Amino acid sequence: MPPRKHTRSEDDANQASTSSDKRQKKTNDAPEGDEDTGSEKHAPFEYLTLPRPMHDFAKEANHNANNENEEEEEEGPDEDEIDEEYQAQFETGFLQSPIAEHSDHKWFCFWQTWKLLCDWRQAAGFCDPDMFGMYVYNDFAGYGLQEIVERMMVAFDNQFKKKGRDEDTVKHMWAVVAAMAHWLMTAELGPWIGCEDGDRINKTIKAIGTMFLTALNELDKAGLLKADSPIKDLALVMAVYLEWSADLGDYGFEDDDRDEVDAEDAKPNWRTSVVAYAKKAGIDLATSGVFAADKLVTSLEEKDGASIAPLAGQAKADRWGWKKTLASLKKLSAKFGGKEYDITQWTRAERAKHAFNKKDPLANIPEKELKAGNIKMA
């Protein structure tokens, strides 16, 4: 899906965060994606309802309206009408409710996933100079988003490289890739997609695919990749990755390496492998909750010129070469996954230097709170 702007209602829904919950504040000593030892409102792997993205809601609304209007020769709903209908779902108070109370709602995630998603949405604001009345350089925000994606990969790898991993470790890995999927689906990624270092972004996108396939392999190894899996958002997250990446080719990004090696030696593109995993597990992506997910599968099969078969072979350690992929990507950055672009971590003098009024935009926030990351963007 292309870079996009949010509607006001979606922004309001997405701004809901865990900052008001009585959990321990995250500091720089608590890596993103690691277990949180503070008091919790929910268990880490409890499933809670998640807002359906406006993008997906609007696609379905426009599709339905267009089908109706073909017969009645009327114009489709305008953006305000769609936005009003979208907001109605929040009036029922379902957000972050146990999924048993809303069995017909198909968008949900682990509590751990929701916390990570809120953290990363907040982090995206921290690297946007516009949010602070500042200008640094044109691609600053894009590199900041790249840094956040790298931190997601570090969070995943922290779980992946644990020895003697148990089911909870695998669930933590899933929480990370699920949070990344929802972040990619809803974040304003224009600055990242349009960043000047297109080769690095392209390799990062391929690494995202490898990371997700690695997570699916770990679920497979643990016996959790199946239609009746306790990982209840398998179909949803698979479809979200397919939806997010569906038209990246329009921006010059490739989802496989057929442009780099002989076709017969090329690896299958990661999107095809996601569908192959779904078929192996007996998961029907059409029921995922993502609008027209079945058409995403059809489009891939048309591109490949054949029906996608269930993934063959047994799960095995690092089946998709995650270790090698991450090591290669780290070579492209001096401070992989750091916080160089996190404006809240700069000195007051640095922020003032780049501010339009030459004053620190965070002058009213104590240094201790800034360093601990205990601030919330409006």
Number of other CB atoms surrounding residue 348 within 10 Å: 15
Identity at 288, one-letter amino acid code: S
Alpha-carbon span 154 to 161, nearest angstrom: 10
pLDDT score for 198: 93
- Cβ atoms of residues 273 and 212 within 8 Å: no
Nearest to 179 by CA among 223, 200, 149, 216: 149
Question: Helix, strand or coil for residue 345?
Answer: helix
pLDDT above 90: residue 201: yes
Angle at the Cα of 207 from the Cα atoms of 299 and 136, rounded to 5 degrees:
110
pLDDT above 60: residue 374: yes
Question: Helix, strand or coil for residue 355?
Answer: strand
DSSP-derived secondary structure for 247-295: TGGGGT--SSSTTTS-GGGPPPPHHHHHHHHHHHHT--GGGSSSTTHHH
Alpha-carbon span 327 to 296, nearest angstrom: 31
Tokens at residue 247, please? 């038209």
- Cβ atoms of residues 153 and 192 within 8 Å: no
Element (H, E) at 146: helix 140-160
- Cβ atoms of residues 142 and 155 within 8 Å: no
pLDDT score for 88: 78
- Cβ atoms of residues 118 and 17 within 8 Å: yes
pLDDT score for 202: 94
pLDDT mean over 9-37: 39
Indicate the Cα dihedral angle 270, 178, 116, 89, nearest 10°. Answer: 130
Alpha-carbon span 253 to 209, nearest angstrom: 12
pLDDT above 90: residue 303: no
pLDDT mean over 280-307: 94
pLDDT above 90: residue 286: yes
21: confidence class by pLDDT, cuts 50, 70, 90? very low
74: confidence class by pLDDT, cuts 50, 70, 90? low
pLDDT tens, 338-366?
999 999 999 999 999 999 999 999 999 99
Alpha-carbon span 133 to 131, nearest angstrom: 6
Number of other CB atoms surrounding residue 161 within 10 Å: 11
pLDDT tens, 82-139?
888 888 777 766 778 899 888 888 999 999 999 999 999 999 999 999 999 999 999 9
pLDDT score for 26: 35
pLDDT averaged over every residue in the chain: 85
pLDDT tens, 141-186?
999 999 999 999 999 999 999 998 899 999 999 999 999 999 999 9
pLDDT tens, 250-268?
888 876 554 443 434 445 6
Report in angstroms the alpha-carbon separations of 207 from 64, 150, 247, 257. Answer: 36, 10, 17, 12
pLDDT tens, 24-45?
233 333 345 554 434 578 999 9
pLDDT tens, 214-241?
999 999 999 999 999 999 999 999 999 9
pLDDT above 80: residue 11: no
pLDDT score for 69: 58
pLDDT score for 255: 61
pLDDT score for 31: 43
Alpha-carbon span 335 to 127, nearest angstrom: 15
Side-chain half-sphere of 57: how many Cα atoms within 13 Å? 23
What ranges do the domains of the chain cover? 50-105, 111-372
pLDDT score for 35: 46
Query: 110: which strand partners?
Result: 47
In the chain, % of residues over pLDDT 70: 82
Supply the pTM of this predicted model.
0.87
Question: Helix, strand or coil for residue 55?
Answer: helix
